[in-house]
Amino acid sequence: MSCTKISELRQDIDELNELIKQAKRKKIQDILSLEARKLETEWTSLKENENNACAMDASPAPTTSQKKRYQIKLNGYGWDQSDKYVKVFVTLKDVQNVPKENVYCKLTDRSMELHVENLDNKDYLLVINKLLYPIDVAGSHWKQKTDMVVIFLAKSEQNVKWSHMTELEKKFEDQRSNRFKSDDLDKKDPQESIMGLMKNMYETGDDDMKRMISKAWYEGQHKKKTDTLDL
């Protein structure tokens, strides 16, 4: 019921009450009082209905439960290169179904971040820092493919062969190669020397170095188990 009708009823009731005060004959007063009570009852009923409707409107609308998204940091990727590009391959099931605006890269001349948002209610992030050589950010791009994202990092210096993806990977390989050439290898068990080298680099390296060493150790253990099974 509209507020206008409730207001008009209130005015009618007030005017009837004024007329009752002015009436001198009892019968007229009784008639006016009866009519005023009827209008008062109607006004009260309408007012209650209005209050109930307002309460319903003010109550919070039921919301559908939404699952909270959480971020998954990716470590695994593959890479290849041509004269112009270093290509990074990231496997993600059904990534082709994600809107294009939810798949993007943040690039600098020495780093890349791949963001994939709201894939099966999860966000994915791959970060590669300290690239081996600078890249041309403006010339770089990325593509969504079936179950995969491919990032094309344009080489700042074309035709330059990348031996590793990052500086840390190259540093790790160089240190390991230098350690192999040392005279200590003639006196110690080679496996022990390798483990000692990795332990020392792990203890003194930064977070990226530690992650890389952990990955190398895991892959080595996995390969060892596979070779044993093959035998």
- Beta bridge mates, 143: 150
Q: Which fold has domain 70-155?
A: Immunoglobulin-like (2.60.40)
The amino acid at 63: T
The chain-wide mean pLDDT, for the chain, equals 80
So what's the pLDDT on residue 90?
A: 95
pLDDT tens for 118-137 read 999 999 999 999 999 999 99
pLDDT tens for 91-123 read 999 999 999 999 999 999 999 999 999 999 999
Q: How far is CA 219 from the centre of its chain?
A: 29
Q: Backbone phi, then psi, for 205, in 5-degree steps? A: -85, 170
So what's the pLDDT on residue 64?
A: 47
Helix, strand, or coil here: 211? helix
User: Which pair of tokens denotes residue 107?
Assistant: 């690039």
pLDDT tens for 179-217 read 666 555 555 556 666 666 667 666 666 677 777 777 777
Enumerate the H helices of the chain as residue ranges.
3-22, 26-58, 167-181, 184-187, 190-204, 207-230
Helix, strand, or coil here: 133? coil
* H/E stretch holding 126: strand 122-128
